[in-house]
A and B are shown apart, each in its own frame.
Chain A
Amino acid sequence: MSTVLFYILGFTALAATLMCITRRNPVHAVIYLVNAFFALALLFYLLGAPLVAAWEVIIYAGAIMVLFLFIIMMLELAPMHTPAGPGWKRWGPVAALSLILLCCTILMVAVDTGSSQSVPFFYVSPRVFGTVLFKKYPLAVQVVSFQLLFAAVGAYYVGRSERLADREDKS
């Protein structure tokens, strides 16, 4: 059962990503990518990592894609021409993908509780995940967080130096 679900979800994630990179309208592309992230989150849940599934939704679907959307809304894009043809061609794929994801979620909820053979091979509770992450790989966590700090400082520097250059031009 979980093997079948795994392949359905994997296919959904791939299909959503494919739709994302072929869209002309950037906002529609973002919506397909969010769909793909939901499929990935369900995959993580299926593999027994609810914490990673929650992070997938919070960080990728909830924060990074929202920032993408923010940038797209700030850009001044030429008005899109709505393509000719019936309306379902535009909303059909995203509706189908979302429906598949919803069905998989319900199936997962129905299968997960009660029986023991459908429970994933290993199940990682948040506590175990945290202990392993910070006790076994503390160096990797430190390196990644320093990299993020460098990126933040770098972005701040780039933004700041341009503004300083502007002021010098004026004076």
Chain B
Amino acid sequence: MIDLLTVVIILVKLILILGVILTLAAYLVFAERRILGRMQLRLGPNRVGPFGLLQPLADVIKLLTKEDFLPSQADKWLFLLAPGMASITAILAFAVVPFSPPLHLFGREIPMVVCDLNVGVLYFLALSSLAVYGVALGGWASNSKYSLLGGIRGLAQLISYELSMGLSLVPVVLMARSFSLTDIVLAQSPLPFAILNPVAFLIFMISIAAESKRIPFDIPEAENELVAGYHTEYSGMRFGLFFVGEYINVIILSSMTTVFFLGGWSGPLLPPLIWFFLKMLAVSFFFIWMRGTLPRLRYDQLMHFGWKFLIPLSLLNVIATGAVLLAIR
């Protein structure tokens, strides 16, 4: 059995991560509204608190006090559970993210990762494939045409782009020779994988943009055809969970980009933890930037691009990387 101190350390890590992630997600919403405002030549929310910094708090209070509406003929329990499924799978993925090298405190070595699984990459892929259920069941259980269409579109999109995302990670595992995320970060000590294998990096970035269901891939919730897609019928904090879940998803996908391709915590001068957060926030900013710049794709364009371009390209990349690694061994 484990001793008590280890349990306490793990619990403290869990609470810290949960607190930081939820705060970060709330402020990512705020940052996105402000940055999008700037990009569209308007101000964005700036009334609540200094520079509008208390806006997330005001939004949470508003969402919590709104009526929790249940459509008639909806599948009650699935309808109530679906928002949770959407956000829990995103939060759980943080268990394998290594934020910095192990700390040494009071003669103990404290790893800065909750659980360094030897199948960490697969754990991340498993959770991202389970995230589909929140979208699909939420859309189905609402018993509404718009929600169902949004759910079906979400399902098709997530399955298609998961393939290219998984295949773009194969070169990373090949180069690092390990499934553990800590080993992957350590393998990038001279040069990050984004420079060593730019094709995989590009495929991964496009796939995660589709995984996060944001513009230009926000077809499951296309406002001008589906009202709000799979969360049309949701109100109050249940809608809030879907909404925050999307931003937690952006944070976890940015962290994974940092770990897989940008060298994780490594960087000169600043402490490792700061470097990790800087890189993660830079990728998150890229997501927001993309939303402010690009138009939405059409559904058939999205499917053709995924199946006829990205997946063949990522397969070729796997073969090429394998051949090069075999040649230089």
Contacts and interface: CB of A to CB of B under 8 A. Distances in A.
9 contacts: A34-B133, A50-B117, A54-B122, A62-B126, A63-B159, A66-B133, A66-B155, A110-B2, A114-B3
B143 to A, nearest CB: 8
A23 interface: no
A154 B126 CA distance: 28
A111 interface: yes
B136 A73 contact: yes
Contacts of B158: 66
A57 B2 CA distance: 27
Contacts, number: 81
B179 interface: yes
A113 B2 CA distance: 7
A69 B155 contact: yes
The DSSP consensus for interface residues of chain B is: helix
B224 interface: no
Size category of the binding interface on chain B: 20 to 34
Nearest to A114: B2
Question: Which one of A31, A125, A126 has the highest number of Cβ atoms from chain B below 10 Å of its Cβ?
Answer: A126
Closest 6 CB pairs of A and B: A62-B129, A54-B122, A57-B126, A91-B77, A58-B126, A54-B119
Interface string B268-291: 000000000000000000000000
B301 interface: no
A115 B3 CA distance: 11
B30 to A, nearest CB: 32
B75 interface: yes
A71 to B, nearest CB: 10
A143 interface: no
